Amino acid sequence: MSYSRDQLIELLRSEALQTGEFTLASGAKANYYLDCRNITLHPKGAGVIAEGMLEVIKARGPLPAAVGGMAIGADPITASIVTIAGQKDLPLKGFMVRKEPKGHGMGKQVEGPVKPGDKVIIVEDVITSGGSAIKAVEAARAFGLEVDCVIAIIDRLAGGEEAFKAIGVELITLTTIKDFGL
């Protein structure tokens, strides 16, 4: 499988984009909603997203140690990327960031085969204000990971890019809401 931006946009349009009145995670009101779980958990969508993000990752230079993000939204993206990376013999691991440290066991907030000092990329589905991915960046940094960038499926163009610049992290997206004429 190879990455097709046009195929991703068509899948987003047919599977994820909904119109109406919605309250977003940021608290903002919107007349459209992107339910990207409908595409990250879709048999074609998962592969297209992973191929697109892997293309971005490989273009950045040396592979990071791992990709991951905030549970639950980033989990299927991470799993798809790691699966396709494995099929291509790329040594890319995955990790997840819990919303809060686990209350038992080792009490970790960052889970997976990563260690302090590893270079990682945070993955996300939709960027609005950037809040969820910024929390993932902060938790990863607190764990000792070096965050290279954030890669997302789509940017709503609602201030997220500026929020990432403020914390010194580049945001890269496969699409923006402009691709849908909204």
Mean pLDDT, rounded, for 7-17: 96
104 annotated binding-site participant: yes
Helix (H) or strand (E) holding 155: strand 146-155
Q: Provide the pLDDT for residue 100.
A: 79
Task: Return the pLDDT at 66.
Answer: 98
49 is in an annotated binding site: no
115 is in an annotated binding site: no
* Alpha-carbon dihedral sign for residues 42, 47, 52, 58: positive
What structural domains does the chain harbor? Answer: 5-180 (3.40.50.2020)
DSSP assigned state of 128: S
93-147 pLDDT, tens digit each: 999 999 877 666 666 899 999 999 999 999 999 998 899 999 999 999 999 999 9
* Residue 47 DSSP code: H
Q: How many CB atoms lie within 10 A of CB 103?
A: 6
| Residue-wise pLDDT tens digits, 140-176 | 999 999 999 999 999 999 999 999 999 999 999 999 9
Residue range 51-80: mean pLDDT, rounded: 96
The answer to the question of whether 144 is labelled as a binding residue is no
57 among annotated binding-site residues: no
Res. 182 pLDDT band, cuts 50 70 90: confident
Q: Is 93 annotated as a binding residue?
A: no
How many C-beta atoms lie closer than 10 Å to residue 175's C-beta? 17
Q: Residue 26, annotated ligand binder? A: no
Residue 21 burial (10 A CB sphere; 0-12, 13-18, 19+): exposed
pTM confidence score:
0.94
Please state, in angstroms and rounded to a whole number, the distance separating the CA atoms of residues 17 and 39: 10
Tell me the average pLDDT across 54-58.
97
d(CA 82, CA 66) in angstroms, rounded, equals 9
